[in-house]
Amino acid sequence: MTATGERSFPEGFWWGVATSAYQIEGAWDEDGKGPSIWDTYAHVPGNIRNGDTGDVGNDHYHRYREDVALMSSLGAGAYRFSISWPRIFPEGTGRPNEKGLGFYDRLLVELLAAGIEPFATLYHWDLPEALQVAHGGWQSMNTVHAFADYAGFVASRFSDRVRHFFTLNEFHSFVDMGHRGVRAEVGGGKTVRLALAPGLELSDADLNQVRHHSVLAHGLATRAIRERARAGTKVGFAENIGTAVPIIDTPEHVSAAEAATRDLNAAYMTVMLEGAYPDSYLAEAGSAAPRFTDEELETISTPLDFVGINVYRPSAYVEPSEDSRGYRTLPVSASHPTMGSSWHLLDPAVMYWAPRLTTSLWDPESIFITENGCAAADVPAADGRVYDTDRVMFLRACLTELQRSVAGGAPVDGYFHWSAQDNLEWGDGFGTRFGLVYVDFRTLERTPKLSADWFRHAAQRNAVV
Ligand code: GBH
């Protein structure tokens, strides 16, 4: 079938689904788990829509067997999940909690028996509350060192079964949204304000220092994992890359998009992959610039086995300009379409440009699309099925663009759909659904959606279908 051949992915391409601990596990205070900053944040009325919390979540902690079976039925060959730090170290440091480790042991048994490759994220935002209280969380180097110790310990325990570890998920999100609040542009000059736990409002200088601590934590953790894991264990990060999409595919416009993408990611991907903060970032920060040493920059840019990028939307549209930056950011049209989340500007082309620009800017050995997906107003129809035609449209369009990027030479080795099932969408609560599988949060019954059929066919044929 020629049509399929032209639209296929390289042999060995991973088709996966993704989740995170706080969003699905529930069992928030079971088996010795300590509270995380998300438990504390969610328990304050007003922080999460409808007063939803992750206390029970999807009850994945008890239903993981059914959930792995569901992933199998989706044709997933890989699963990206996160490990809850306060389940392993209830206070953030100290003695490991064997019961918490036992949960991930059981999950891994189930995944490996199903032939699903586990990819583990070590930090998906659920910082042990004890570290927030004692040290101000990521404001302190104590947390940075505690994270590296935890990462090395987890790798020593699980690297006989887990071959890929992601250090931290979405630096820009948990740092900027958690310590200041971020405004995302959604067209027509409108913005939406986004916040995450711990819900702080730091000064510029303090925020820049937290940013620096987060990338330093990544570098130290990478080294700790390499020291303590089995030889051959692969390490990288997962970042929600800020992507500048060029309007036209010409060398001049692409150069402008490269310069803008490098600036958009200055405090995170750029410093991790280049080992230096861009001059423009430091100049703009002025006296609020982070304090750092050359040795820290070297740690932050420890060579990686792969780069993980979460790709949802363009951060900006740009065109070339004569000024020193080399690009101009364009306003977004008031009628630009969005998907089911307030911030989710729709443009499938970002799935072409994010891997292409990552490759031309930083030339990584390997790239994973660690997240991509959309929220939709999923409602079971009279026949019990969920007809998420908009998610199918989104998936097909994004994977068409990804296939084009890979065919053009971007070294992408896998795609993880966010999410395996509906779950607690942070401040948006359970009402904002990202799953391929519908979850009734009253009964916790799971039902695959129409998009699950699409995903299964694509995964089985290793092609856009
Ligand atoms: C990811 O967040 C998270 O990793 C995951 O836990 C979450 O459930 C999922 O995606 C769906 O939201 O990009 O210019 O709008 C990514 C979502 C990234 C959305 C940062 C808001 C703000 C800046 N967020 N984004 S912009």
pLDDT digits (tens, 9 = 90+) for 343-370: 999 999 999 999 999 999 999 999 999 9
Residue type (1 letter), 461: R
Whole-number Å distance, alpha carbon 416 to ligand 1 midpoint, is 15
Q: Report how far ligand 1's centroid is from the alpha carbon of 344 (Å).
A: 9
Q: Are 196 and 426 in contact (CB under 8 A)?
A: yes
Q: Measured in angstroms, how far is the CA atom of residue 113 from the centroid of ligand 1?
A: 32
Amino acid (1-letter code) at residue 22 = Y
DSSP for 400-426, please give it: HHHHHHHHTT--EEEEEEE-SS----G
Q: What is the C-alpha separation between 69 and 83, in angstroms, rounded?
A: 20
Q: Where are the domains of the chain?
A: 14-461
Per CATH, the number for 14-461 is 3.20.20.80
Which residue minimizes the CA distance to atom 7 of ligand 1? 425
Q: How confident is the model at residue 5 (pLDDT cuts 50, 70, 90)?
A: low
Token pair recorded at residue 120: 């583990």
State the distance from the centre of ligand 1 to the C-alpha of 99, rounded, in angstroms: 31
**For position 6, what pLDDT does the model report?**
82
- Choose the catalytic residue: 170, 258, 296, 401: 170
**Which residue's CA lies nearest to atom 24 of ligand 1?**
173
Please state the three-class secondary structure of 434-464 as a single string.
CCCEEEECCCCEEEECHHHHHHHHHHHHCEC
Q: Does the pLDDT at position 322 exceed 80?
A: yes
170 is catalytic: yes
To test the pocket of ligand 1, the residue of 371, 433, 436 to mutate (highest count of ligand atoms within 8 Å of its CB) is: 371
Average pLDDT score, the chain = 97
Angle at 237 between CA 435 and CA 80, to 5 degrees: 30
Query: Is this prediction's pTM over 0.95?
Result: yes
User: Which tens digit of pLDDT belongs to each residue from 152-163?
Assistant: 999 999 999 999
Percent of the chain at pLDDT exceeding 90? 99
| Residue to substitute in 36, 194, 240 for testing ligand 1 pocket (most ligand atoms within 8 angstroms of CB) | 240
